[in-house]
Amino acid sequence: MNSLHEQLSTDIRFQEGLKTCISCGTCTAICPAAQVSEYDPRVVTETVQRKNEGLLIQLLKGDEIWRCGECLSCKTRCPRGNTPGYIIQALRALSIKTNLFRESEQGLLQLKVKRTAGDHILKYGYCVYIDEVDTDRYPEQGPVWEWYRKNRETILARLGANYNQSGAGTLRKISDQSLHDLHAIFRETGAIDRFQQIEDGCYNGVPDEE
Amino acid sequence: MVVITEFLMKNKNQHWLSYQKEIADDHYYFARSCIRQNFFPASETIFLKILREELGKDIFDDPEQTTCTGIAYHSGILPFETTMTVVARQFALMTEAGYENFICSCVTSFGIYSEVVETWKHFPEEERKSREALMKATGKTFNLPKNLVHTSDIIYKFRDEIAAKATLQLVNQGNGTPLKIVDHIGCHYAKIFPDKGIGGAEYPYVLAGLIDAWGGEQVDYPERRHCCGFGFRQYLIKENRGYSITNSRTKFESMKSYHPDMIIANCPGCTFFLDRWQYVLSEMEGKTYDTDGYGIPVLTYEELAGLVLGYNPWDLGIQLHQVDVEPLLIKMGILYNHNDKFKGLDGVDVGQPDKPQVLKIIL
């Protein structure tokens, strides 16, 4: 079995993300996640640069790698061409692959993402679809959304959408052939396996609904 | 001293000129946005109308396209290989339709498409693997786009043509002064690849150019380039939404003393968050970020173009925003029928939304 660092090094996002970090902290200064949570991209980058297996395991089973918001502001600003956001993508993938995400409260919350955005892609062909966005799970949507969603068929028709119908247009029903293609791509490229790993890892973890 | 200051200001405002890119003139393959279709459901229809009817362009709206998977990918539930292969399928659809110029409505998607193309440049083996996976899964193959841009780039390119057809300018009709407009650029428009954005990451001009061309006044404020706070998984997971609202709040607090008349955004997610979090902050903190209690209206660039071109505001879907846009219509001197605001197809009565506790809304 290759070391965790060797496994990380095969990920192209890691190869792109880590050149040589000079630990200047510019990424942390610009990072929206660092402003609101226990997340420090400078420390994460410095940690993976050390190639210390023990420290890497701590990262992979901790909450910190799940705090990044992937805005990629760090890519713009790093004076040495590093991208901590890409390093995070590689760390998250390895955390799930090694099942270390099960030891993180934030890692377990991936089940909620899988059961919303992930399942919606395979069910509807969209990451998000109006039928699934209720104000219980998304109270910030507010009363206008509630009114719109309740009357969506006539309102969307008024606005020239093609809601839940075949053919082109806004919020159209994605064809069976296109959904079949998505399923086939997900199987072929490992997404179905990752979904199963998230489901299995969270079998007694967090509930999927509030 | 005054001369030096004027020189510096003039040159500061010209920094965007160093970042330009090629934007195809016609014949576009149009990739839709998951978020824009749900939350701003008339915007893409308006975009197609402007392209076809106002500008006489050829644009193909393909029913077979799907999500690019960007939100799921950036939330950490999908392998990059999956996203690259879904992107390959979108390019295959473009190829099958006989197009070479790929334009997308979502800024997350623009980042995804740009990243995949760049990845394939630097790692040709990944392109070979994506081609094999696509062939095996779907039997499809593809050509790379010759031109890949965001739809806001298209409106920017034709901003003067739109200005020539405009029925009004971005001016407060009450006092004749330009409307003060905040532009918000989605992070993935230019922060990943500054050379792929008009004006780059530090001085993006893609929306500021619309403001300048249509008679408004840009608002420069300290947190102008700060993220709206989407955060992908941070928003999708209810427990983590404090990340999202806190970042939006940072922006509102920074812009409020400049008294903006509206915010415009090129990313559908940003438009959504900057609208909805104002509502939540008003409920949580009992305050709004304008002086009249209505909040700062947040528009997509398609909606703004539609208003400038004199379209019926209710055909633009702006009544679906939580922050009411009607006070802005009044400020702009737009003629409209208030009674049509909350109607369904053919004027059918579907009632009205409930009033929020704090944020005012004209019902």
Region B194-221: what's the mean pLDDT? 95
Q: Are residues B255 and B133 in the same domain?
A: no
Chain B residues within an 8 Å CB radius of A37: 243
Output the pLDDT for position A206: 54
Residue among B38, B89, B320 whose CB faces A185 most closely: B89
Which residue, of B98, B118, B151, is where some domain finishes?
B151
Chain B residues within an 8 Å CB radius of A76: 190-192, 194, 201
Looking at the domain assignment, is residue B2 inside a domain? no
Q: Are residues B159 and B137 in the same domain?
A: no
Looking at the domain assignment, is residue B288 inside a domain? yes
The answer, yes or no, to whether residue B4 has pLDDT greater than 90, is: no
pLDDT in tens, A98-109: 999 999 999 999
Q: Which domain holds residue B215?
A: 155-347
Looking at the domain assignment, is residue B200 inside a domain? yes
Q: Are residues B146 and B164 in the same domain?
A: no
B39 Cβ contact list (under 8 Å, min separation 6): B268, B271, B272, B320
DSSP string, B194-226: GGGSTTTTTS--TTHHHHHHTT-EE---TTTTS
Q: Are residues B132 and B168 in the same domain?
A: no
Q: Are residues B191 and B320 in the same domain?
A: yes
pLDDT in tens, B237-292: 999 999 999 999 999 999 999 999 999 999 999 999 999 999 999 999 999 999 99
Region A77-100: what's the mean pLDDT? 97
Q: Are residues B91 and B212 in the same domain?
A: no
pLDDT in tens, A175-193: 999 999 999 999 999 999 9
Residue A210: pLDDT band by 50, 70, 90 thresholds?
very low
Q: Is B124 part of the contact surface with chain A (CB cutoff 8 Å)?
A: no
Residue B1: pLDDT band by 50, 70, 90 thresholds?
very low
For B120-149, letters b (16+ CB in 10 Å) and e give beeeeebbebbbebbbebbebebebbebbb
Burial class (CB in 10 A: 0-12, 13-18, 19+), B66: buried
A1 Cβ contact list (under 8 Å, min separation 6): none
Residue B80: pLDDT band by 50, 70, 90 thresholds?
very high
Q: Are residues B136 and B160 in the same domain?
A: no
Q: Are residues B229 and B302 in the same domain?
A: yes
Q: What rounded mean pLDDT belongs to chain B?
A: 95
The answer, yes or no, to whether residue A167 has pLDDT greater than 50, is: yes
Q: Are residues B322 and B299 in the same domain?
A: yes
DSSP string, B263-314: EEESSHHHHHHHHHHHHHHHHHHS--SSSSSS---EEEHHHHHHHHTT--GG
In this prediction the ipTM stands at 0.96
Looking at the domain assignment, is residue B363 inside a domain? no
Topology of domain A4-107, CATH: Fumarate Reductase Iron-sulfur Protein; Chain B, domain 2 (1.10.1060)
Output the pLDDT for position B102: 98
Output the pLDDT for position A2: 86
Region A40-53: what's the mean pLDDT? 97
- Contact B41/A161, CB-based, under 8 Å? yes
Output the pLDDT for position B328: 98
Beta bridge partner(s), residue B298: B263
Output the pLDDT for position B300: 98
Q: Are residues B229 and B296 in the same domain?
A: yes
Region B156-171: what's the mean pLDDT? 98
Of residues B293, B60, B309, B270, the one with CA closest to residue A168:
B60
What percent of the residues of chain A are helix, what percent strand, and what percent coil, each to the nearest 5? 60, 0, 40
Q: Are residues B39 and B98 in the same domain?
A: yes
